[in-house]
Structure 1
Amino acid sequence: MGTVSAGTAHKMGVVALTLVTASNMMGSGVFMLPTNLAGVGYISLWGWLFTIIGVIALALVFAKTSLITPRTGGIVAYASDAFGPFIGFQTTVCYWISAWIGNVALLVAGVGYLSYFFPELKNPSIGSVVAIVIRWGFITLASFGARVAGRAQSFTASCMLLVVLGIGVVGWFWFDPAMFTQVYNGTGKSDTSAIITAASIALWGFLGVESAVVSSGQVEKPEYTVPRATVYGLLIASVCYVGSCTVIMGLVPHEELVNSAAPFADAARYMFGKTAGNIASALSIIACFGSISGWLILQSEGPRAGAQQGLFPKFFSDVNKNDVPMKSLIFTGVLMTLVLLMTASPNLAKQFEAVILMSVFASLLPYMYALIALPIIMVARKMNRGRSFMFYTVMVVIGMIYSIFAMLGSGTDSMFWGVVMIMLTIPLYCFVAAGRNKKGVEILYLDEK
């Protein structure tokens, strides 16, 4: 995997990449998390704390690795560098699956807010068809390249911040502590289990913290731009998440919130009336669907880098005149269509939760490989001395602990299908090895006697 070259006029800078990173994290996570976390109860605040600490560790490690060894493909490339082609292949598969399933969640959230205006969209069949049509519309938009996607997302991120900060700041004047503390633990399980569940759900909101790293092939001066965009995007998301989710749980009655398909719109309606709810819902729709552009970049860059290395089929790296791997996007578009149909549910919040837990589990294996890759790379480059190495080693340990607990909290169904997915990468690698051997690439790492 080659080192990333300097950007061109068609690539993103710090501001655009920060907005893409923040928007990728917040695109649908922030708009539906109040509903999902309300089901856990206000004990979810501990889950937030646990998650933010873990995600800060992840962000710092990913940013440091991008400084040491900038690569097209980001965290996927780091796993391959540190562990070899099989782990690189396994990581690429898992990350790719996480990214396009994440796009399904964006569509579900967007349709949920559209149902505020068009209640018939709560019908699973109608809602799924609308989501599929919108999905293919954004694939068409993505064909024009990263610069167009970045501009579109800069606008939609502004809409998102207006809603989130508006509710998260002004909403405190309507905040009812009694309503917020109505349900402490609504899971029916132990407090520890509830906190771990909340941490897993909350992690969905921060999936995309590595967006700047993975999209390094699409940005200007990645060694400068990527670390800054990663940290800035995380800070923006953290403030918006905790503030807005807490406020909404103290604004909207619990029984209504746990079944809400548009919690921010409902909160605005309680604050200022129906017109405000309509405006909040409209802006939320723009933000949810707008963040799809950034996720399309994210879901195509990993397999694109893998295909260039021979780990994925060649068509994943075939690009159009705008340097967009359209064959890859079309292929994943078909897969997303199938997932939308398979997860269709009368309760959009339940459908959203099922999809995000699938995405969270699929992302955790690449995260853990990328975490461990940093100390390995630092040792290989003779950088394993001093306070910097010790600091990042501690960050790796914190990130690993968090990732393991988040994986445990993703639920038995997600864990089952996640293990199946991981096991399938083992026989699939036989085809990769055969292809590499055909090209004359060494596939055995033995000292011949």
Structure 2
Amino acid sequence: MGNQEKKQPKVGLFPLITIVIGSTIGAGIFNLMKDMAMGAAPGAVMIAWLITGVGIGTLALCFQNLSNKLPDYDAGIFRYAEEGYGEFAGFASAWGYWLSIWLGNVAFATMLMSSLSYFFPIFEDGQNLPSILAASILLWVLNYLVTKGVENAAVINFVVTVCKLVPIFIFIVCAFLAFKANIFTMNFWGTLSHQFEFGDVMGQVKSTMLISIFSFVGIEGATILSARARRKKDVGRATVIGVTAVLIVYIFVTLLSFGVMSQAELAQLPKPGMAFVLEKIVGSWGAAFICGGLSISILGVWLSWTILPGETAMIAAKQGLFPKVFGALNQHGAPAKALFITSLSIQLFMFTFLISAQAYQFVTSLVASVVLVSYLFVTMYQIKYMKTQPKGRERTVQLWIGYLATAFQIFAVMSAGVKYILLLTLLFVPGVFVYIRARKEQGINKSIFNKIEWVAVIFIFTGAAVAVIGLISGIIQI
């Protein structure tokens, strides 16, 4: 196994940047203006992007600082949690991140089929039986591709990333030329008085948090592949550069759309919203062009998110957080068994298309909620680690970055609401048993949990029980 890892080619700065961008910009951007408009007016959206920019930007700076200071911490997305708060915290971070990626693939599947229905009506809204069958075939094709070597898949991801950015760039140019200030400023704050009202506007801002968080899931792509980086410093640089580029693109796409159509019109658009905004600007070919671009985009990000959960599970297994089966490599150096387990989980979850009326919106919100667990551990470890460093300007700056990033994660969790927190605990119940299995494989049969960890376990099972009752009674809707 060691020889296989040494033979794997290293990845440079530019490919790492494309992995960050490719892993982040996916299906969400093509419906971003509709999703935002459903709960927020232009003024609130601007505030939301300002808060998100600070929150995600400081998170990226945490990744950069920690990857520079601790270059040997491969896959720091959950290594930091383990080092700072113990094995179960490390597992919780790894489990949450692993869940967020493959659940994201479920969302990509329904959005892909929905976009293809523009050309092939048989797929309808992307949640019928033909959609499940087509998505299932693609799922296992991507699984096969990645098992033949992570590096080959990464090269394809680079090509697809370049291709998918073209329709987005054309949309931005067309929206800029069609932008009308009077449409953009019409009820700018979205309030009954048409004036700024703090409570109302902040309520609108909170409604966008899960949307914006989901839009940025994937920024840690370079960190997850840090073991394959040619230079460890490139991991942090790629993350910061990639996040900055993605944020700029998101701001242009959403705000320019509010200058082409009113909030009410954007909120009522079919999916994907970008297609029908461009259709209004250039005609019917615009919708077909965007739907084609969306299909390419999803294929690219789905490919990236096929790589990431396998890598995450493999590294977690090497650290003793996941059972050993997740760490087994095939002759191509790919975690084939981890990929199979992940793909099987996606396959089983795809059948929820038939019972959930809003599968895409539900799954994207669930992804954003679960990934916050991993991100919060990163930002808290940034604070904990920097407090051990010598006093000085760098320590002070990095501590404030950690404080701001942590505050944003907490704000995002609160914005998610009780529903998703309860569903989150339900997803962590099987994880507890997976962790117990992993610990027993390490020869630990007693005192698997310490006192604080037992409190966390009790919270998980209590929250899960409440979630089950809520689902059965209909109080919690999916």
TM-score w.r.t. the length of structure 2 is: 0.84
Q: Contact 2:352 / 2:359 at 8 angstroms: preserved in 1?
A: no
Q: Is 2:37–2:266's contact at 8 Å kept on the other side of the alignment? A: no
Provide the residue aligned with 2:67 in structure 1. 66
Tell me the residue number matched to 2:85. Answer: 83
Report the equivalent of 1:363: 371
Q: Distance in 2 between the 1:236 and 1:79 partners?
A: 27
Q: Residue 313 of structure 2 contacts residue 322 of structure 2 at CA under 8 Å; is this kept in 1?
A: yes
How far the C-alpha of 1:109 sits from its partner, in A, is: 2.6
Which residue of 1 is the match for residue 467 of structure 2?
A: none
User: TM-score, normalized by length of structure 1?
Assistant: 0.89
**1:318-349 Cα deviation digits (max 9, x unpaired):** 112221112111111121122222144786xx
Residue 49 of structure 1 is matched in structure 2 by: 50
* 1:431 corresponds to 2:437: yes
CA distance in structure 1 between the partners assigned to 2:184 and 2:108 by the alignment: 27
Query: Which residue of 2 is the match for residue 29 of structure 1?
Result: 28
1:195, distance to aligned residue in structure 2 (A): 0.8
Instruction: Choose which of 172, 176, 179 in structure 2 pairs with 1:175.
Output: 179
Specify whether residues 418 and 176 from structure 1 end up closer, same or farther in structure 2 by C-alpha distance, changes over 3 A only.
same
Alignment equivalent of 1:334, drawn from 344, 351, 365: 344
Q: Does 1:245 align with 2:254?
A: yes
Using a 3 Å threshold, how does the CA distance of structure 1 residues 8 and 175 change in structure 2: closer, same or farther? farther
1:147 and 2:148 equivalent? Answer: no
Partner of 1:15: 14
- Structure 2 contact 323–434 (Cα < 8 Å) conserved: no
The partner residue of 2:244 within 235, 250, 259 is 235
Range that drifts further, 86-95 or 116-125: 116-125
Corresponding position of 1:354: 362
SS of 1:322's partner is coil
CA distance in 2, matches of 1:276, 1:252: 15
Structure 2 distance, partners of 1:18, 1:259, is 33
* 1:156-235 pair list within 5 angstroms: 156-180=160-184, 184-185=189-190, 190-221=200-231, 223-235=232-244
The one-letter amino acid of 1:327's match is K
When residues 26 and 270 of structure 1 are mapped into structure 2, their CA distance, relative to the original with a 3 A threshold, is same
Deviation (angstroms), 1:179: 4.1
Shift of 1:7: 7.5
Shift of 1:211: 1.3
How far the C-alpha of 1:288 sits from its partner, in A, is 1.5
Task: Kindly state the Cα deviation for residue 219 of structure 1 after the two structures are TM-superposed.
Answer: 2.8
User: 1:423, CA displacement in angstroms?
Assistant: 5.6
Structure 2 vs 1, CA of residues 410 and 7 (structure 1 numbering), >3 Å: closer, same or farther?
farther
- State the alpha-carbon separation in 2 of the partners of residues 445 and 111 from structure 1: 46
Give the whole-Å Cα distance in 2 for the aligned partners of 1:18 and 1:150.
12
Q: Taking structure 1 as reference, are residues 442 and 6 closer, same or farther at Cα in structure 2, changes over 3 Å only?
A: farther
What is the CA distance between 1:151 and its match in structure 2? Answer: 1.5
Number of the residue aligned with 2:133? 129
Aligned to 1:395: 401
Q: Which aligned pairs between 1:282-321 and structure 2 lie closer than 5 A?
A: 282-321=292-331
What amino acid maps onto 1:233 in structure 2?
Answer: G
Number of positions where the alignment pairs a residue of Structure 1 with one of Structure 2: 436
Are the aligned partners of 2:113 and 2:135 in contact in 1 as well (CA < 8 Å)? yes
Contact 2:436 2:448 in 1 (8 A): no
Cα deviation, residue 176, structure 1: 3.3
- Check if 1:114 corresponds to 2:116: yes
Deviation, structure 1 residue 45: 2.4
Q: Distance in 1 between matches of 2:154 and 2:431?
A: 33
Shift of 1:205: 0.8
Structure 2 distance, partners of 1:142, 1:18, is 20
Native 8 Å contact 2:93 2:374 kept in 1: yes
Task: Give the CA deviation at 1:379.
Answer: 4.5
Matched-pair identity in %:
23
Paired residues of 1:21 and 1:212 also in contact (CA < 8 A): yes
Q: 1:424 to 1:191 in 2, by over 3 A?
A: farther
Q: Distance in 2 between matches of 1:343 and 1:258?
A: 22
In structure 1, the residue matched to 2:382 is: 374
Say whether the 8 Å CA contact 2:266–2:273 is kept in structure 1. no
Q: Call closer, same or farther: CA 1:432–1:8 in 2, change over 3 Å.
A: closer
**TM-aligned CA deviation for residue 425 of structure 1:** 4.5
Query: What is the CA–CA distance in structure 1 between the aligned matches of 2:144 and 2:60, rounded to whole Å?
Result: 31
SS in 2 for 1:437: coil
| 8 Å contact from structure 1 (residues 78, 370) kept in 2 | yes
Match of 1:268 among 278, 302, 308: 278
- 1:186 and 1:294 map into 2 onto residues whose CA distance is 40
Deviation at 1:426, TM superposition (A): 4.7
Q: Kindly provide the CA deviation profile for residues 350-385 of structure 1, in whole angstroms up to 9, marking residues without a partner as x.
A: 4322111101111111111111112333445xx242
Offset of 1:181 from its aligned partner? 5.0
RMSD: 2.8
SS of aligned partner of 1:260: coil
Deviations 1:177-236 (Å, cap 9, x if unpaired)?
44445675499x943222112122111111111111112123322x12201110111111
Moved more, 396-405 or 421-430: 421-430
Compared CA separation, residues 15 and 416, structure 1 to 2 (3 A): same
Aligned residue for 2:413?
A: 407
Structure 2 residue runs without a partner (length 5+): 193-198, 452-478
Distance 1:326 1:48, change over 3 A: same
**Native 8 Å contact 2:31 2:273 kept in 1:** yes
Provide the rounded CA distance (Å) in 1 between the counterparts of 2:140 and 2:190: 40
Partner of residue 138, structure 1: 142
- Which whole-Å CA distance do the structure 2 matches of 1:251 and 1:300 have between them? 41
Q: Following the alignment from structure 1 to structure 2, what is the Cα–Cα distance between the partners of residues 243 and 396? A: 28
Measured in 2, the distance between the counterparts of 1:185 and 1:210 equals 34
Q: Provide the residue aligned with 1:94 in structure 2.
A: 96
Equivalent-residue separation in structure 2 for 1:411 and 1:137 (angstroms) = 37
Q: Specify the alignment match of 2:474 in structure 1.
A: none
CA contact (8 A) 1:36 1:258 kept: no
